[in-house]
Amino acid sequence: MDPSAAPPRPLIGAAELRERLAAGWRCVLLDCGFDLADTAAGERAHAQGHLPGALYVHLDRDLSGSKSGRNGRHPLPERQALAERVGAWGIAPGVPVVCYDAQGMPYAARAWWLLRWLGHDAVAVLDGGAAAWRGAGGEWLSEPGVAQARGPYPPRAPAMPAVQADELLRHPGLHTVLDARAPERFRGEVEPLDPVAGHIPGALNRFFKHNLLDDGRFKPAATLRSEFDALGVAPQRVVHQCGSGVTACHNLLAMEHAGLPGAALYPGSWSEWCADPARPVARA
């Protein structure tokens, strides 16, 4: 195996990552582990053990922007701020990046999407996350990783599209909105995180965990392609959302893995949508 080769996109298996690293492959590893109910849990877990050399990135501090109270719980960071942060992690055009977490890959998918949105192409998610790595016999170390800091990531065109609430309101029916939240949240039966329960009128539900096998890895590409094809909508007309624009990235990653690129993210998602009482709400 050529250790200088770019990673497969958008997923890389644990065994292949071990083989590449053993052969001298130089990449930036990002530990994206997080817990919405305990926002310090991921950082504590990282201090106890992580992939060799991995850097910890925090959903709130590193993978989100400033909250206004009306732009959702995890708004996108400003592109220049993200460019500076990414450069500080040692990421530059052509530098391979592998993102992972221990929660089924939603936070790794968020980092993957943000890097693609910034214009970075050489990024993959570790399929199965930390559990797959440890199951494959990978080293698990507590020594902190050291970033080879660079300047800000140079401006590039976004490789991932985003759609805002006003466009969804102006053109109802133009897009198929796919909500990644659990079915009971989608139906409005429970709402543990946001002040209003329900969903965007006309949206369909695709719980992000349905992308995974029982062992925590993504389903085969052909299986996912069949499931998304059943929507009967071209990928370019699909807009993914969730509670705050995080687990929606899991569905976007699944579509990329399935060979169905081109779908968009509604970054503010339900937490932004329901912050404006003028926007319509559907339940059941």
Q: Evaluate whether 146 touches 88 at the Cβ level (below 8 Å).
A: no
> From the candidates 27, 242, 249, 274, which is the catalytic residue?
242
Active site includes 32?
Answer: no
Nearest to residue 96, comparing CAs of 148, 157, 34, 58?
148
Q: Evaluate whether 127 touches 216 at the Cβ level (below 8 Å).
A: no
Nearest to residue 25, comparing CAs of 51, 2, 58?
2
Whether the upstream peptide bond of residue 10 has omega within 30° of 0, thus cis, is: yes
Rounded to whole angstroms, how far apart are CA atoms 129 and 211?
14
Query: What single letter denotes the amino acid at residue 100?
Result: Y
Sheet of strand 238-241: strand arrangement: 204-205, 176-179, 238-241, 264-265
Catalytic machinery residues: 242
